[in-house]
Structure 1
Amino acid sequence: MQNVNSCKKRMGRLPKAAIWVVSIIAVVILTAFVFQEQIFTFMANRIIQQRLLSQTYKKDDGLYAGLAGTGAPFADINRTGPCIVVEAGNHLYIFDAGPGSARNIGLMGFDLGKVNAILLTHFHSDHIAALGEMMLQRWAGGSNAEPVDVIGPKGVETVVEGFNHAYSLDAGYRVAFHGAATVPPSGAGGRARPFDLSSEEDASMVVVDKDGARIIAFKVNHSPAYPAVGYRVDYKGRSLVISGDTVPCQSLKKQAQGVDVLLHEAQQPVLIKMLHDQAGLSSSPALAKITADIPGYHTSPEDAAKIAGEASVKHLVLYHILPPIPPVFNHMFLGDAAKYYKGPITVGVDGLLISLPVNSKDIIFHQTVVLRGIL
């Protein structure tokens, strides 16, 4: 009987508690409505301050790789086109210019106005589409009086010339509006810096050597996209390799020997086949042929894992993810990769920052940009 009375008392108190909760919520909503302009102004100022201060924050000395774009040509809510930002000491380099990646660079806290050079792996559209925007932001954002160097294999001259021509009217408008002191006309666009590798399959050459930062370009196989290259970056004892688009090749394994991080493109053939098998449902008449062709000039997670294992890589990071996959299913994308590489494997997403501090063996991962997708 006593338990029954106790239960009734608690039930009697519930409506009062509910009234208090509803009242508090109502007061909060009313306050937010009444002071919405002040709240918005406060929050806007804080966001602006954080964005601007993030570009002036000085990192500890080290080698940093920011994944500004980890996707492929297929639309992906969590991944823009391939682009990796590398900071080595006081120097900033961009590798590839996939569509949408330029905005992620700013969101990650990198200052496009301070970019020393843009390096291209090859000239497929999904690796160059944002080049014009990057050149523009580097010029206007830094009031630079000289064009940015665009380094790449032979053919880069054609690409840079095309973007310079396409953006020439825009450059004129900006000078007329902002003035030559803010946007010096001489700094608009890019300046092609082509290199030509020898005929050997494992040919390589140094394309940047400045203040301890050394960048080597080496041949990869993305035929019929030729020439195509990958890059190795070394800085004060830390190192990383960027594969670019390629099938497994000896030159890449050679350059990846012992590096801290191998950033390797990856396509999952099992998932590509599933897409191919359903291609008839698409309105695109080309999808079946395209999905049949894709595996022929890319690398699977399993093959990337084999390279990482044979090269004694410390950490394997996959990017240029194909087909699109929600991050919650990243483990499914890896397939049997763990059978061939016993080290850590990370499936890249936009906004991921990899830190390699000098005088250390640490490899630190930090997500700088909130994912846009639900999963």
Structure 2
Amino acid sequence: MKKWIALGICALLVGVAVLVFVFQRPLGERAFASAAAERAGGPGLQFGEGLHLALCGTGSPLPDPERAGPCNLVVAGDRAYVVDIGEGGARNLNLMGFDLASLDGLLLTHFHSDHIDGIGPLALLYWTQGTKAAPLPVHGAQGVETVVEGFNMAYSLDHSYRVAHHGENIVPSSGGGLTALPFEIGAEPVVVLDEGGLTVTAFPVDHDPVRPSVGYRFDYKGRSVVISGDSARTDMVERMAKGADILVHDALQPKLVRHLTDALEDNGDENVATITRDILDYHASPEDAAASAEAAGARMLVLSHLVPPLPSAFLHPAFLGDAPDRFGGEIVVGEDGMVFTLSPASEAIERQSAL
């Protein structure tokens, strides 16, 4: 009896497999159409009143399949800004369901390639998804004009093709590309935006020999987020993060990077080994970032621009080192898709994942 039952189950499974094979194409088309309708008709990433931080990229120039390049989205009421846009950042924003056409601008901390190499896709999606009649505003310290001019030149032919193909009603020729909005930064902070109750303050950081290099503080309805950009530990970050709800700080663990350098040297790759040795002096360690957060009295420390890549959360304690002993608040090892919400009606920091 058991034998016949087993044979019957096998026959049924074979029959199902044959049916799936025969009807795979129409079934696949129907499944795709259903998924497309759900995604296109979904509400996307929604933000209520308050200050919000979304991590659209927490990686570095070192390849990491789980992380896009540096990218942060800050939303305050009806204002939305991306801070830095590394490779893959625009893709993540799309996957998170954020309406890129609703952006008010891009702010750059500095002009290292990994902080700007996602500009092309971001500007393209901003333009094409929103039928924009004016280019994407790009805020940055002195020198941002050169970056913007270069991207506009590189994408000029692409823009002409898209206008010719889709027409002015869909992609107005006046809307492609970028507009540079430079500000001068010296030794002291400067307010670069003050609108709709949101104040954005740029401040100089220590990323020598990269100059200018800045961080940003966002203040909105009593809540605040500070983004260090790339920086070694500096008093200015601690000064600007005073009382902040969240300090987002770049973090490099020297012990792990030295292991990476040793492996490169053993493999005879002296060029890359030299680079991994050089990067030790212009990024903060997790311990440094924790000490800064403690000195500033920040409530939460979010580590981003992680060096080296971390393929598993199992490595987080090794990456953090002694950081938990140096900061009394919560430390979060940033991951792409994390969203933090700071309501003006409370002191809570809510967290979710949009990826």
Q: TM-score range by the shorter chain?
A: over 0.9
1:96 is paired with a residue of what secondary structure?
strand
Structure 2 counterpart of 1:159, which letter? V
Identify the residue that residue 338 of structure 2 maps to in structure 1.
352
* Alpha-carbon distance, 1:53 to partner: 3.7
Distance verdict in 2 for CA 1:209–1:39, change over 3 Å: farther
Q: Distance in 2 between matches of 1:241 and 1:222?
A: 17
Identify the residue that residue 337 of structure 1 maps to in structure 2.
323
1:275 is paired with a residue of what secondary structure?
helix
Structure 2 counterpart of 1:65, which letter? L
Give the stretch that moved more between structures: 253-262 or 350-359. Answer: 350-359
Give the stretch that moved more between structures: 29-38 or 218-227. Answer: 29-38
Q: Distance in 1 between matches of 2:96 and 2:45?
A: 12
The alignment of Structure 1 onto Structure 2 pairs a total of residues equal to: 354
Q: Which runs of 5+ in 1 are unaligned?
A: 1-11, 370-375
Q: C-alpha deviations, 1:289-341, integer Å up to 9, x for none?
A: 11111110000000101111111211111000001111322222111101101
**Is contact 2:239–2:296 with CA below 8 Å preserved after alignment?**
yes
1:245 is paired with a residue of what secondary structure?
coil
| The one of 148, 151, 158 aligned to 2:139 | 151
**Is contact 1:97–1:128 with CA below 8 Å preserved after alignment?**
yes
Q: Distance in 2 between matches of 1:166 and 1:335?
A: 43
Distance verdict in 2 for CA 1:299–1:34, change over 3 Å: same
Q: Which runs of 5+ in 2 are unaligned?
A: none
Structure 1 counterpart of 2:78, which letter? N
| Residues 1:209 and 2:194 aligned together | yes
Q: C-alpha deviations, 1:208-252, integer Å up to 9, x for none?
A: 122122211111110000000001112222211111000011111
* Alpha-carbon distance, 1:171 to partner: 0.5
**Is contact 1:266–1:299 with CA below 8 Å preserved after alignment?**
yes
Q: Distance in 2 between matches of 1:259 and 1:322?
A: 24
Counterparts of residues 1-375 of structure 1 (less than 5 Å): 18=6, 22=10, 25-26=13-14, 28-54=16-42, 56=44, 58-198=46-186, 200=187, 203-282=188-267, 284-328=269-313, 329-369=315-355
Structure 1 counterpart of 2:344, which letter? V
TM-score, normalisation: structure 1: 0.89
Q: C-alpha deviations, 1:259-288, integer Å up to 9, x for none?
A: 111111000000011111122244643122
Distance verdict in 2 for CA 1:230–1:38, change over 3 Å: same
Larger Rg belongs to:
1
Structure 2 counterpart of 1:160, which letter? V
1:87 is paired with a residue of what secondary structure?
strand
* Alpha-carbon distance, 1:47 to partner: 2.5
1:321 is paired with a residue of what secondary structure?
strand
* Alpha-carbon distance, 1:42 to partner: 3.3
Distance verdict in 2 for CA 1:284–1:147, change over 3 Å: same
**Is contact 1:267–1:301 with CA below 8 Å preserved after alignment?**
yes
Give the stretch that moved more between structures: 346-355 or 169-178. Answer: 346-355
Give the stretch that moved more between structures: 46-55 or 60-69. Answer: 46-55
Q: Distance in 1 between matches of 2:24 and 2:101?
A: 35
Structure 1 counterpart of 2:317, which letter? H
2:339 is paired with a residue of what secondary structure?
strand
Q: Percent identity?
A: 44
